[in-house]
Structure 1
């Protein structure tokens, strides 16, 4: 396990251990909790849910630490509409690795993008330069608390929960406020807190966009550079059909067509059951959905060129990156000046977008939200000018045709 090399934060662990835990299983208890949330400026949250055999996650439990007590909200029993609203309005919601949790929040609350989210995992990354540090490691190294994660795969819909499950659920938020306060204090001391907040808010907006992506755009995340426009059309139509079916039957997408089989179908475009059977599609799915898949393949084969989706912007696929050292130097200098770990400043997918802007004279307004915040000076004043010096090389790579599909 990688050591974070962060200062140990002094906190009253006994007081945290003695924080009372209350079940919320009635409407009266729920509104008492809402009243308490309305009286504080920050709450820590976590969720427990089941999503192994369903399309929609089944929310089993919400854990909330108000600083006064820990609440275990029995989600299946209650109408949570007013709870979502109270959480939307609280000044700061603290999570740890909030990706899946916020996806469920947006699904159930049906709210606009949240601007009150702080992801402590992001804060830890700003302090340590380490990505994906788990909650238990952060709590151990910063607070000196050991958190047992042995119940993570429990059946959270079981009632009553075992004492071990209840302790596990409560501990997921018992120390989270203190961890947030420790991380916040160190971030402010290093003048990094505003940056971490900015990225937390951007992440919350990105998760909202992902949760609300129209069905006809889902295929964009599955594109391979070797696909032709007709193969893209098949990928788009299959993902639209699969999504609607998964939603209607409330089963995972992979139960209908897994990723590998989907890739094979798109590449081979089988227009008969016999040809479809040669892919790795599940035999049960072949029997249930084979005729419909073949119908979609034939329909796409009959589409006119004008109705096919456009090719996506190309990816920079060459290992030859003459600009790499200069970009790395600029990032490192910016890191030294700001204290932001270099690993957080420029993601690979952002680099590809910057290369596209350089090659095709794109508009920087199309860049991701994160690149319009504190990183904008780095991007506009340093990275784009560097890439501009290599524009001819970048254009030549983008103009190279991708390898043909097999």
Structure 2
């Protein structure tokens, strides 16, 4: 890989004194481009191999394998006066949380910005660099070993390019967003990304990862909740992927069939003798706990898939939004996602006599922030027109 791709100096940071010096320097910055390289194939937690920073003047490659105390960088991430620019940040947030124990403040995600600026939804970094900067990124080091030392020259260049180009990208994107009047969209959505990430870490919600869980009756769902929470705790304790503890479909089957004895676990697909010996008694105990919950403490059933009639209604709402998005050169998925249409439809089903105020109440409850201002009037008109035409989203009988 050619070093000519990098235009700014590269500083390798592998001791705490260096890191503290640079972090003191960065405290005066208004904006930093940040990225991470990590490995995670056989572990629950990501293993950080590299932290990259660009301050507009140089590329800094921080070695978390060599620096025992990276708390100075955690302070940078927590500084609300510094914009931290990342691209598609969800995995980076995991690295920061596990390595540093913090979630960044004042985040700006260029993938979200790209969608608002008209470059498409969920666009990859290389494609965005090509579209905005007219530069081609090398791909060879994407899956290389970031825990090896020393890193190869190609790895060092690849890691530096990421943050150098990321810093260049953000100024172009912000200028375009300002011209479109959409900067506040990205600011709001980045804040929502951080809130959603924090909510996703709630171990009490682990059962929501299990597909088909909506099929369970409340008592069996209670058992699944116990099992899913336990699996998450064990995966964290052993630092292994969730499915190495017990596979998702096995969790669902056990909660549904509710075995009463350890020996019954042998009939479930994916349950090994080793697992039965180490965790069998605990699994049966959790099932019993879930099934024995008092009636008033049982969880509500999870939302079922939409009926045929409801699906048709949801598709009509999506058609209205997609037409608007195309006219405004906005990625439709940025405006509303599938789960948003489903939530709207479920809420509309509960309205006996749709009225302007009732529909507006549903929209206020389901359209977050700028989306309400942008879409409420459009959707309200479509909903009221449909109900007038007797095409209400009633469930199939």
Same fold, TM exceeding 0.5? yes
Aligned residue runs from structure 1 range 301-380, under 5 A: 301-318=291-308, 321-324=311-314, 326-328=316-318, 330-332=320-322, 334-335=324-325, 339-360=329-350, 367=365, 371-380=367-376
Determine whether 1:119 maps to 2:109: yes
CA shift in 2, pair 1:231/1:393, >3 Å: farther
Instruction: Tell me which residue corresponds to 1:186.
Output: 176
* CA displacement at 1:151 relative to structure 2: 1.8
Determine whether 1:218 maps to 2:222: no
Question: 2:84 touches 2:106 (CA, 8 Å); kept in 1?
Answer: yes
Partners of 1:144 and 1:338 lie apart in 2 by 24
Task: State the SS of the aligned residue for 1:300.
Answer: helix
* CA displacement at 1:177 relative to structure 2: 0.8
Instruction: Tell me which residue corresponds to 1:95.
Output: 86
CA shift in 2, pair 1:207/1:281, >3 Å: same
Aligned residue runs from structure 1 range 43-122, under 5 A: 43-76=32-65, 77-89=67-79, 90-111=81-102, 114-122=104-112
Instruction: Tell me which residue corresponds to 1:135.
Output: 125
* CA displacement at 1:201 relative to structure 2: 2.4
In structure 1, runs of 5+ residues without a counterpart are: 1-13, 401-406
CA shift in 2, pair 1:247/1:343, >3 Å: closer
Question: 1:106 touches 1:208 (CA, 8 Å); kept in 2?
Answer: no
* CA displacement at 1:119 relative to structure 2: 1.1
Question: 1:114 touches 1:205 (CA, 8 Å); kept in 2?
Answer: no
Partners of 2:15 and 2:114 lie apart in 1 by 36
Instruction: Tell me which residue corresponds to 2:355.
Output: none
Partners of 2:319 and 2:283 lie apart in 1 by 50
CA shift in 2, pair 1:353/1:114, >3 Å: farther
User: How many pairs align?
Assistant: 380
Partners of 2:143 and 2:18 lie apart in 1 by 28
Task: State the SS of the aligned residue for 1:311.
Answer: coil
Determine whether 1:171 maps to 2:168: no
Instruction: Tell me which residue corresponds to 1:403.
Output: none
CA shift in 2, pair 1:332/1:158, >3 Å: closer
Which residue of the other structure, out of 233, 243, 246, is the alignment partner of 1:254?
A: 243
CA shift in 2, pair 1:336/1:131, >3 Å: closer
- TM-score of the pair, normalised by structure 1: 0.83
Partners of 2:72 and 2:300 lie apart in 1 by 43
CA shift in 2, pair 1:61/1:129, >3 Å: closer
Task: State the SS of the aligned residue for 1:23.
Answer: strand
Partners of 2:319 and 2:364 lie apart in 1 by 25
* CA displacement at 1:355 relative to structure 2: 2.0
* CA displacement at 1:349 relative to structure 2: 0.6
- TM-score of the pair, normalised by structure 2: 0.85
* CA displacement at 1:155 relative to structure 2: 2.2
Partners of 1:356 and 1:180 lie apart in 2 by 38
CA shift in 2, pair 1:325/1:279, >3 Å: closer
Partners of 2:149 and 2:365 lie apart in 1 by 47
Task: State the SS of the aligned residue for 1:72.
Answer: strand
CA shift in 2, pair 1:155/1:23, >3 Å: same
